[in-house]
A and B are shown apart, each in its own frame.
Chain A
Amino acid sequence: ETGVTQSPTHLIKTRGQQVTLRCSSQSGHNTVSWYQQALGQGPQFIFQYYREEENGRGNFPPRFSGLQFPNYSSELNVNALELDDSALYLCATRPPTGDYGYTFGSGTRLTVV
């Protein structure tokens, strides 16, 4: 299996609801990061997981949480959705080498109404 797959591609949620976004990556890619890209902005780092443990976090509140599974898949969970959470959410993975070639998925477009 190659590449990074994210699901769903599009999602509409109501303010206050909870959402789970999913990411599956290439075998051996044991580092996964999640980014939020608002319209007209660059991707913003949410958090990173390495071997199923969170090992880095950006300036996002605790209602943004994640999981990484032994099969290299990952989830991003957002509770108590706010209108400003509307964005493209990107998953990025890389293999356990020093090369910095992060592979990004195509993203999930989340709209909060």
Chain B
Amino acid sequence: DQQVKQNSPSLSVQEGRISILNCDYTNSMFDYFLWYKKYPAEGPTFLISISSIKDKNEDGRFTVFLNKSAKHLSLHIVPSQPGDSAVYFCAASPGGSQGNLIFGKGTKLSVKP
């Protein structure tokens, strides 16, 4: 039973536009959420995180929004660039910053020039 779900396997966006990647979770014990980016033949790279006590965290072009009541989070990339093309994984932790990570299946983002 998947506790972290990324229901869109792929997303295609035009360069300069906004990319919105979505993630749903089922376990209300999750209190820390992260997004990772993965290029082929490389390990996942940490992008941005958010604690359950916040509803928004911003870092440059990347913003993560958390809606606890809906058990939903999203990653916004503005503006999207061709170099952002990668697989994006949503991950959650039940143990704050000390716990293990539970990942979704990923969304493949393609940013077209």
A contact residues vs B (CB 8 Å cutoff): 4, 33, 35, 40-45, 48, 56, 58, 90, 92, 98-107
Interface residues of B in 4-31 (CB under 8 A from A): 4, 6
Of B6, B44, B102, the residue contacting A104 (CB under 8 A) is B44
Contacts of B4 in A (CB 8 A): 42
Contact-residue bracket for chain B? 20 to 34
Task: Tell me, in angstroms, the Cα distance from A7 to B102 when the chains sit together.
Answer: 24
B contact residues vs A (CB 8 Å cutoff): 4, 6, 32, 34, 36, 41-46, 49, 89, 91, 93, 97, 99-106
Chain A contact surface mostly: loop
Are A42's CB and B104's CB within 8 A?
A: yes
With A4-B43, A48-B100, A106-B43 known to touch, is A100 a contact of B105 (CB < 8 Å)?
A: no
Question: Besides the contacts A92-B43, A106-B43, what 10 more A-B pairs have beta carbons closer than 8 Å?
Answer: A42-B103, A42-B105, A43-B44, A45-B101, A48-B100, A100-B32, A100-B46, A103-B46, A104-B43, A104-B44
